[in-house]
Structure 1
Amino acid sequence: MIRLWTPRRAWRCLLAGLLLVAVSAAAADDGSAQAPRFLLGGAATHDGTPMRACDPEALAGVQTVEIPAPAGGWPGAPQAISVFNVFAGEVMVGLGDRVVCGRMHDARTRDSRFRAGVGLVVVPPAGTDDPVRVAWRAPVQPQWIPTIRIGGPSPVQQEDTLRLVVRTACLAIALALAFSALMGYIGARDRTFLAHVAMCLVLLLWQATLNGLSGYPVPWLPVGDHETRWQVAFTAFAFAALQYGLWSQSGVVGLWPALRHGAHWSVRGFVIAGLLVPLLPYAALGAAWWILDHASLLLTVALTLIAVLSIRRGDRRAFALIAAAAPVIILFIPPIATSRIVVEYRVELIQLVATWFLIVMAYTLTNRYGQLRAQRDAMRQLADTDSLTGLPNRRAGLAQLDRCFAEARRTAMPLSLGFVDIDLFKRINDTHGHDVGDRVLVAVAEALATGVRRRDDVVRMGGEEFLVLLPGVDAQHARERLDAMRHRIAETAATLGVPELQLTASIGVTTLQADDEQAVALLRRADDAMYRAKHAGRNRVMADRDPGVMPHACPDTLSAD
């Protein structure tokens, strides 16, 4: 297997990149007197403020509230008024003769000093008592009431900025998790990662339609005048993603197979509901949203109870479901759902809960990636390992030989090779049985493994043949080490407890030469030297350059003798 990326290559790329940056910086900073002292971007504009006057037709049917001036009238200081949590339609803010309008899903219609809401900064004359007027379309869900903040420009704008930071951060996290899952799919080729990508993107779009960022800095979703329909539709899709994530990545369906059919249909039901939203009359959207909320809550509570039972049955993966579902359930508890902080920061809290859900799902996905890697490593180990001796098999051994050959060529270090064949192994099988033959193979493998630095340097090539890799060992020392292994093999026969068992081995040894272009040349010379050792009387080590004549009999016959 070719390694496309190695630490050495990474260091080379890093150094090349640093060198390129240094050269670019030196070229840019030539020390000439004409070098600019500052950088000017943009150009002057004739465009007016993005705030605009209110369209009477857009304000038709809205509800208006008035906030009275403080006792004694306005103090004459600047006042900032900002309106949040209006999810559809025009929002009007006015004080005295100053009236502006804007839409949550089109940042171009809002005062640029307010990013998360529609706002106005005005200086009412001291002593006047004109009320602040705010108007908006009646919310589809009655409990989702708007929030109005009034005060000094600095604290009001800081809160507005904080809301924007939370909203954009949640979208950025969802996008980053989607990209991370996509990279996981490229590495693992598991469709679960693609499902996680879809889950992240659906929740990202849902949040964007809920918090108004679908129109920031300019509209990038075709929401238009249909904000409520987009919100209800993506709420259904988001609940489908939520239910899919809870049951598919927490393991509860695996422990309770009977639930799989119902879980599949719960996800399909939310998707179908989202697709049907454009067909519903506007008056029915509120009821549809209420049904979606409570259906998702009931399913989430049911899955949480199943997760508790799964934990009692020993499935620790269900902890992820409880961790992801708990914040969702907590937001629906009546005392919490009607509390002031939840009402005021409902959008931000919903986004934080969705982000927490995605993070927990990413944690389960990371665990799955680890499991897949462990499984693939185990499969690779099985594919590369001889089942009887536990040594690398022929395929893995030849790959290891190629790596040692390339490293020896690169570093100019010696590389020696030993080819070991058990003498008269067929006679051992015929005389003592194949069970004893297997024990002999295991014993020889252990005897060889004790004579090398790494167990992977001993390879079972097949039958009674073994390959011993000796990287960094010259010809003389290789011969000495292989001869010590030969003696160890002969001494092993006494430890097996088999009467009249004699165990010897013939070993051929060779060392990398300057004109060797491929590793197979070493393997061929070691194999030839091993057959010379057999022809010379067996139970010996013979180098490829030792004098000797190859027998006329075929190698298979010699090996069987």
Structure 2
Amino acid sequence: MADGGGAKGGRSSRAWAVRLLILLLVLLWPVAGMAQALQVDRDFLLLGEATDQQAPVRVCTPEILARLTHVIQVQPPVGGWPGAPQALDVFNVFAGEVMISHGERQVCGHMQDARTRDSRFRAGIGMVMVPKAGNTDPILVAWEPPLKSRWIPTVRLGAPSPVQQSDTARLLIRTACIAIALALALSALMGYFTTRGRDFLTYALVCVLLVVWQSILSGLSGYPEPWLPVGRAAPVWMVAISALSYGVMIWMLWRLCGGRRAVRNSRRAMLWMTAALGLVALLTPFMSHHMLAVTAVALDGVFAAACVIALGVGFVSLRRGHYHVVDGIVAVVPLLMLMLADVSGNRLLVEYRVEAAQLVVTWFLMMSAYSLNRSLGHMRQQRDEMRQLADTDMLTGLPNRRAGLRQLEQYLLETRLNGQPLSIGFLDIDLFKQINDRYGHDVGDQVLVSVARTLESGVRNRSDVIRMGGEEFLILLPGSSADVALPRLEQLRERVSLQAAGLDHDGLVVTSSIGLAELRPDDNDVAALLRRADNAMYRAKRSGRNRVVDARDTPLAD
């Protein structure tokens, strides 16, 4: 049976190896062809070709200009503009058009379509102009009414290079946060396929949802081309995705902070709250702009209250000794700090609102992933402990019969592969029933433990000594022929006979009978090997006990 299983496993492994080799060849073939195609006879490689396509510009139509109700004038310095190039970049306009105008130049754009903006500005809407020296005309900046009163735009003016570098830095932060969320989602998805744990699948879906939220917030849903149908409906998308995101984040924070354990029957309340926020998301397409603004503020209030409650529950759980809630506390504190900074009108937050929101959400996802992976590690530890208990003899701490036979089958497979010998010793404590009857089962247990420790000390690997049941032990000797194993088993037999003195019971005698067998080429499985060792052990008992008998000297048939 073991050889059959090993052959089947070997064929399966070879089949997988062939499939992997074919896959690698399929993948490497286009790469090799590409490498050949890229061979050049020059010192450089020229890509692309000349084009007559003009840079896309979003025209400020009268319809667009009519919606731009908020206007500011960026005044020149004293004495007028110096005649040097000026770059102006507008950030943190989450929805609607932005217009920048100076003299005869006028550009419009919005964050959800990168194709219609100046390619030098990707995190904001910008324009580079060169006012004549001494010109005193201001630069006009106009935008649509913001969804929230505190969502005011940030306008940066300066030399083109530093302004563009600041814009690029913002873009890097935004894309990095989305990349981290996608990586966490992929990791959770692989965890789901490995463990089939629903928590991993739920976390992956949460990551994807927050990727969409971040993309709309940062304008990356339109980069390099629009891949979400946001367009003019940015406020609707923003409120709808915020409602869904707040729902799942509150649910996760409640779990991370120990709310399900601290507050009984809270699961139903959390389900109702999540369903209510989902309903709000579904109703957003039918709301007016004013109603969307009211809903957005209300959602912020609900989320802030939920974070405060989750933090309080986390501290209560921490005082009760549930230290795993530290993950939730560490996750919720930055969210509350961001809300406090928003309410207080912190200048740094106003300048970097998008980046701050994305970084806080990314931190939340990372802490959630850490908690999820730690739970997985705890489950694996419990599984390993249960497996260890299932494979261990409780009295002696040795591997039990099931684990021992599995180990022996593994040695048999290795022996078939490397051609090394394999021997086993089947040991039975002599007259063990009389020991129990005369001294009691407590002393019998002491004898079993003492013999187990003696046998363990005589082998290289503790797992090579197995308690087969009752007073029987199996000793595995991989790499040893019968001629080599015989003196080792004789030495173990002598050491077992010396254990009675250490137990300090008058008249106690402990001896053992051992049957030795070596794996033969015609053995199809471990059963034949065990039968020969067992027969040799009974031959030792019939020959007077307290001895080792080699199966090769045993006339009994297998």
Q: Could you say if the C-alpha distance between residues 317 and 73 of structure 1 is closer, same or farther in structure 2, counting changes exceeding 3 Å?
A: same
Q: Which moved more, 1:433-442 or 1:211-220?
A: 433-442
- 1:476 equivalenced with 2:480 (yes/no): no
For 1:488, the aligned partner's letter is: R
Other structure's SS at 1:54 match = coil
Structure 1 residue identity aligned to 2:205: A
Which of 292, 295, 320 does residue 288 from structure 1 map onto?
295
- Does the 8 Å contact 2:518/2:529 carry over to 1? yes
Q: Counterpart in 1 of 2:400?
A: 393
The superposition leaves residues 7-47 of structure 1 with CA deviations (integer Å, 9 ceiling, x where unpaired) of: xx99xx99x99xx99xx8899689x9x74543333343332
Please state how far the C-alpha of 1:332 moved relative to its aligned partner.
2.1
Corresponding residue of 1:559: none
- 1:499 Cα deviation from its structure 2 partner: 5.1
* Pairing 1:365–2:372 present: yes
The alpha-carbon distance between structure 1 residues 474 and 36, as it changes in their structure 2 partners (threshold 3 A), is farther
Q: 1:230 to 1:27 in 2, by over 3 A?
A: closer
Q: Answer yes or no: is the 8 Å Cα contact 1:73–1:127 preserved in 2.
A: yes
Matches of residues 160-559 of structure 1 in structure 2 within 5 Å?
160-257=167-264, 259-333=266-340, 337-430=344-437, 432-498=439-505, 500-516=507-523, 518-549=525-556
1:147 aligns with 2:154: yes
Following the alignment from structure 2 to structure 1, what is the Cα–Cα distance between the partners of residues 235 and 343? 25
Greater relative contact order structure (CA < 8 Å, 6+ sep): 2
Look up the equivalent residue of 1:404 and give its one-letter code: Y
- 1:105-149 alpha-carbon deviations (Å, 9 max, x no partner): 111111111101111112222222222122211001011011111
Q: In the aligned structure 1, how far is the partner of 2:93 from the partner of 2:157?
A: 16
Q: Which moved more, 1:180-189 or 1:221-230?
A: 180-189
C-alpha contact (below 8 Å) 1:337/1:343 kept by paired residues: no
Q: Counterparts of 2:277 and 2:538 in 1: how far apart (Å)?
A: 73
Contact 1:415/1:473, CA 8 A, preserved across alignment: yes
CA gap 1:549/1:410 in 2 versus in 1, 3 angstroms: closer
Q: Which SS does the other structure have where 1:400 is aligned?
A: helix
Partner of 2:129: 122
Give TM-score, length-normalised by structure 2. Answer: 0.89
**Matched residues, number:** 543
Question: Secondary structure, in 3 states, of the residue corresponding to 1:80?
Answer: strand
Q: Compute the displacement of 1:494 (Å).
A: 4.0
Q: What letter matches 2:53 in structure 1? A: D
Identity %: 50
Letter in 1 for 2:285: P
After superposition, what is the alpha-carbon deviation per residue over 1:239-259, rounded to whole angstroms, capped at 9, x for unaligned?
122212212134343244354
The answer as to 2:112 corresponding to 1:85 is no
Relative to structure 1, the CA distance from residue 547 to residue 387 in structure 2 (aligned partners, 3 Å threshold; closer, same or farther) is closer
Pairwise CA distance, 1:512: 3.3
Normalized per residue, which structure has more helix? 2
Within 1, Cα distance between the matches of 2:177 and 2:226?
A: 19
Specify the alignment match of 1:58 in structure 2.
64
Q: Distance in 2 between matches of 1:400 and 1:93?
A: 77
For residues 456-478 of structure 1, what are the alpha-carbon distances to aligned partners after superposition, in whole Å with 9 as ceiling and x for unaligned?
11112223321111123332331
For the residue of structure 1 that corresponds to 2:377, the secondary structure is: helix
Q: 1:28 to 1:229 in 2, by over 3 A?
A: closer
Aligned to 1:39: 45
Which stretch shifts more, 533-542 or 130-139? 533-542
Write the letter of the residue equivalent to 2:151: W
Q: Which runs of 5+ in 1 are unaligned?
A: 552-561
1:88 is paired with a residue whose SS is coil
Q: Deviations over 1:380-422 (max 9, x none)?
A: 1012112222111122112211222233343443322111122
For residue 69 of structure 1, what is the aligned residue in structure 2? 76
SS of residue matched to 1:460: strand
8 Å CA contact 2:112–2:221 kept in 1: the answer is yes
Secondary structure in 1 aligned to 2:475? strand
Structure 1 residue 531: Cα displacement: 2.5
Provide the alpha-carbon RMSD of the alignment.
Answer: 3.2
